[in-house]
Structure 1
Amino acid sequence: MDNLLGDFLRARRERVSPADVGLPDSGRRRVRGLRREELALLAGISSDYYIRLEQGRDQNPSVQVLDALARALRLDEPSRRHLHQLAAPTRSSRAEPRVPASIVELISAWATNPAYVQDRLTNVLAANPVAAAVSPNYAVGRNLLRAVFLDPAERELRRDWEQMAADGAAGLRAALGPGIADPAAGELIADLAAGSAEFRELWARHDVKPRTGHLVRFRHPAVGNLDLHSDKLDIPGPATLQLVVFHATPGTRDADALASLANLVSAR
């Protein structure tokens, strides 16, 4: 039986040092981070109860206990919400991910704004031609996490690969929540862990970071360095879908480079 709550608590406990929370460090320690007893003390619960939580023998902690543990572990807001989700999982949607036809028509009409639609596992379900010109992996049927971690060409394309990789692992954990146990998610995680030491290391950190807009830095073979703003918009519906749209700051070299790339697409 999966022990998602216990795995998360253990991983985050090991990343907090006694000095971080004002506890005396007694020197040589047999465990990384806080001991179970120390975390229980900081959260104001009994050691026995905390051990049952971490071992998966009690999976129904109260909201008050979860908040106390989040404070003791110094979790940020996304990680605190993730902790609550693991303790009270909701049934995940089994709806077949379908991109609304209006969204497909919309992004197809954008000649100079790369755009695609992804599901919670980062499978690309729709994309326009200029997006595929930015990266061949922005194409229907591709999985962006597999591309980032397993495709050497994608690593070469991204000038900010390390940050993209860290955000990718943390974003997957945020998107899945308790759905990590779903077969499709488990298959993706297993493939990434088998093929990438970087993914294994990042996944073991249990970082949680929702997918939001940011600046993406490319090293494009046709137009050179290309910095694009990436905005992520949730698409309402039974399945978890996001519309991702790129744009360049007007009047910059990046805007000129993106226009040149769009012209190459239209010339084809």
Structure 2
Amino acid sequence: MATSTATSALRSGLGGFLRAHRERLTPGDVGLPGTARRRAKGLRREEVAVLAGVSVAWYTWLEQGRVDTSRQVLDAVARALRLDDASHRHALALAGFAPAPGDARPAYDPELRAVLDGWPDSPALLLGPALDILAWNHAYTTLWPDPAAFPEDRRNLLLLLVTDARHQRRLPGWEPVAMDLYRHLRTRADRRPDAEDFRHLTGLLRSARPDLADWWACRSVGDFAPRTVDITEDGGSPRAYGMTLLLAPQPQDAAMLVQTPTHTAKPPAP
């Protein structure tokens, strides 16, 4: 079991961070019975220790910045303190742990979820810098295959367009769209040559479609231009949609792909 070797300053910061979160909780927040008289503010240390499965002495030392911890034990403490994802990641960083591979996916502002849902008739995706699909609205799943049906590590718009037959049936003219998305991707990737998400996607693309080697070798760049595309709906004929890539403020270089039926107004930029 790997144990962190955080500096004294980081350990002290972690202890203060955990203590602050402990003091915000009540017994009822974690399913414990309350008592009429409690001198301690928030949860007691022994209550957190029991919930996390550690000794009271060790948890006390952790808050005092006197001990290092394993990631597994810190995960248990985070669950006991009901830390949200951002707070959990911060605690791990203070303990000296690098993000796990699964933690590397970009986060996004929850308010962007409401932006997507504000387009009930326009299928829309929130995309990360490497075109990973981070979120989608209900209109998207009524027109396209549901992203939730795909493994998370393959939930990438460009990868799905060039490898998945269902996406290609929806968009018979997928090739120019995919090529322009790749140019958009290259523009961002060249600014972050060491980014793991870009390297991972490039490896998947080369492996899945070696016949498109000339695409992957192409160094041309450019922003994705708005266009009108024909999308084939279930049991119907192709229907024209306006396809626009809107830049989102969070995370950096994220974007929203919006597809608007041509008989409706184009959605405003968020």
Q: TM-score range by the shorter chain?
A: 0.5 to 0.7
RMSD over aligned CA atoms reads 2.8
1:74-126 CA distance string (max 9 Å, x none): xxxxxxxxxxxxxxxxxxxx996322222211322432121121011111111
**Structure 2 CA distance for aligned equivalents of residues 144 and 138 of structure 1:** 9
**1:32-71 mapped onto 2 (5 Å cutoff):** none
1:176 is matched with which residue?
189
Pair 1:111-2:120 in alignment: yes
SS at match of 1:117: strand
**Structure 1 CA distance for aligned equivalents of residues 109 and 126 of structure 2:** 10
Cα 1:122–1:107, aligned 2, differ >3 Å: closer, same or farther?
Answer: same
**1:1-268 mapped onto 2 (5 Å cutoff):** 97-136=106-145, 141=152, 142-250=155-263
**Structure 1 CA distance for aligned equivalents of residues 169 and 263 of structure 2:** 26
Cα 1:232–1:187, aligned 2, differ >3 Å: closer, same or farther?
Answer: same
Q: Which amino acid aligns with 1:125?
A: L
**Structure 2 CA distance for aligned equivalents of residues 180 and 198 of structure 1:** 24
Q: Which amino acid aligns with 1:212?
A: A
Displacement of 1:170: 1.6
**Structure 1 CA distance for aligned equivalents of residues 174 and 162 of structure 2:** 9
Q: Is the 8 A contact 2:108 2:251 kept in 1?
A: no
1:17-67 CA distance string (max 9 Å, x none): xxxxxxxxxxxxxxxxxxxxxxxxxxxxxxxxxxxxxxxxxxxxxxxxxxx
Percent identical residues? 20
1:193-228 CA distance string (max 9 Å, x none): 011034321121212121232222222223320221
Cα 1:128–1:116, aligned 2, differ >3 Å: closer, same or farther?
Answer: same
TM-score w.r.t. the length of structure 1 is: 0.53
Q: Which amino acid aligns with 1:102?
A: E
Q: Is the 8 A contact 1:117 1:125 kept in 2?
A: yes
Displacement of 1:127: 0.7
**Structure 2 CA distance for aligned equivalents of residues 138 and 214 of structure 1:** 23
Aligned residues: 160
Cα 1:235–1:155, aligned 2, differ >3 Å: closer, same or farther?
Answer: same
Displacement of 1:180: 4.0
Displacement of 1:143: 0.7
Cα 1:199–1:133, aligned 2, differ >3 Å: closer, same or farther?
Answer: farther
**Structure 2 CA distance for aligned equivalents of residues 131 and 172 of structure 1:** 22
More off after superposition, 237-246 vs 133-142: 133-142
Cα 1:223–1:111, aligned 2, differ >3 Å: closer, same or farther?
Answer: farther
**Structure 1 CA distance for aligned equivalents of residues 193 and 233 of structure 2:** 34
Q: Which amino acid aligns with 1:113?
A: S
Q: Is the 8 A contact 1:137 1:144 kept in 2?
A: no
**Structure 2 CA distance for aligned equivalents of residues 168 and 236 of structure 1:** 19
Q: Is the 8 A contact 2:107 2:251 kept in 1?
A: no
**Structure 2 CA distance for aligned equivalents of residues 137 and 209 of structure 1:** 28
Q: Structure 1 stretches of 5 or more lacking a match?
A: 1-93, 252-268
**Structure 2 CA distance for aligned equivalents of residues 171 and 152 of structure 1:** 23
Cα 1:159–1:194, aligned 2, differ >3 Å: closer, same or farther?
Answer: same
Q: Is the 8 A contact 1:149 1:199 kept in 2?
A: no
SS at match of 1:125: strand
TM-score w.r.t. the length of structure 2 is: 0.52
Displacement of 1:239: 2.5
Q: Which amino acid aligns with 2:119?
A: W
1:64 is matched with which residue?
none
Q: Structure 2 stretches of 5 or more lacking a match?
A: 1-102, 265-270
Give the greater-gyration-radius structure (CA).
Answer: 2
Cα 1:185–1:227, aligned 2, differ >3 Å: closer, same or farther?
Answer: same
More off after superposition, 99-108 vs 110-119: 99-108
**Structure 2 CA distance for aligned equivalents of residues 137 and 146 of structure 1:** 15
Q: Is the 8 A contact 2:127 2:254 kept in 1?
A: yes
